Amino acid sequence: MSDFASSSPSFRKPLLAGAAAFALILVAGTAYRLQQRSGLHEQSEAAAVPSVDVIHPGGEASNTLVLPGRLQAWFQAPVYARTNGYLRRWYVDIGQPVQAGQVLAEIDTPDVDQQLSAARAALATANAQRSLAQTTSNRWDRLVAQNAVSQQDADERRGNFAAREAMRNEASANVQRLQTVSGFKRIVAPFDGIVTSRSTDIGALIVAGTSTTQPLFTVSDVTRLRIYVSLPQAYVARLRENTTAEFTVPDQPGKTFRAQLARSSGSVDPESGAMLVQLVYDNHAGLLKPGAYAQVTFDFGKGQPSAAGAVRIPVSSLLFRREGSAVALADAQGRVSIKPVTITTDFGNELEVIGLQPTDQVIDNPADDIRTGDKVKATLQRNNAHA
């Protein structure tokens, strides 16, 4: 008993040191776990905050608009046959210039020729019968004067002469009609231009007067060209009588052409929301071809500034809410605020709006359910183009 008591102080020291070490390890482990848990919580909170791209609205909106257009000949006439027969010969082909009245082709019309011969024979008969009726009528008029015949008989002869006169006129009109139809054997150009299509050949059957008949030729006047463009309704009010536009065509790379506004349809198509506009280009040099596609650029900038306080934003940043059009803004602390805007002009990929400042941070492609007060992680992109 005395031996244990004498040895207890030396036994307590290692025991106390081990207990202190264990307690230190326990405290350190607990602190490490708390630190890890706090770090995970911060990471979870950071992951829950969405990252967004923000831009500064651009400055005054550009008044340049690029639209597709189509070139058409100033005059374009499909040339049809007016009589039946077979094509005897054609004299011009596609791409050849022609003058008004120039013969394009000839049609062989044996049926019409025979009808014309028969009509001329009928006219000769009618002339002979009319001459005989006239002579008889004159003779009976002299006999009436001598009281040799009755007035009734003389009136009958006079009526027969009038009937023969009418028959002669009918036969003459029929001859003239067939002569006119026979004249259609020669297909002629309606005006000066070039032949842009030929859909017949020698020996082809020609049938006139049907709705499904193809034109034998197409003649186009390409000294001037019409350019048709569908102008969006937002730009209709900006058109002026002296409005000009520049355009390019794929077959003339690097070249820009200028056209003058000629007229517009004066109404907006309810299906497309655009108004048809016609431009005119002087094509005496023959550089452009009808039917070609064109990219037309309108510049409405001269004397027509944008609305006061208007800036441009990409169309992808616009929100459609029950209250109207709006955008989502992010402040310096990453807090979201929804701000209504008024659209003044739609430029396609961009919008001209009122209600924003150039220093605002507009969220691009915001989520549909974004709300005021939401937290976001904003990354500033380059300023809007044309700023």
Cα angle: 129, vertex 134, 135; to 5 degrees: 100
In single-letter form, the type of residue at position 336 comes to V
Are 57 and 357 spatial neighbours (Cβ–Cβ below 8 Å)?
A: yes
Domains defined for the chain, CATH in brackets: 52-62+307-380 (2.40.420.20), 110-184 (1.10.287), 220-299 (2.40.30.170)
Asked whether the beta carbons of 387 and 61 are under 8 A apart, the reply is no
Asked if residue 314 lies in contact with residue 53, where contact means CB atoms within 8 angstroms, the answer is: no
Please give the pLDDT value at position 198: 92
383 pLDDT tier (thresholds 50, 70, 90): low
Is the pTM of the predicted complex or chain greater than 0.85? no
Range 40-46 average pLDDT: 51
Residues contacting residue 293 through CB under 8 Å, at least 6 positions apart: 68, 69, 70, 71, 249, 250
Measured CA to CA, the distance from residue 191 to residue 72 in angstroms comes to: 16
Hey, what are 212's tokens?
């499904």
Using one digit for the tens of pLDDT, what is the confidence trace for 269-294? Answer: 888 888 999 999 999 988 999 999 99
- The mean per-residue pLDDT over the stretch 362-370 comes to 88
Kindly report the average pLDDT of the chain as a whole number. Answer: 83
Tell whether the model's pLDDT for residue 36 goes beyond 70.
Answer: no
Identify the pLDDT of residue 250.
92
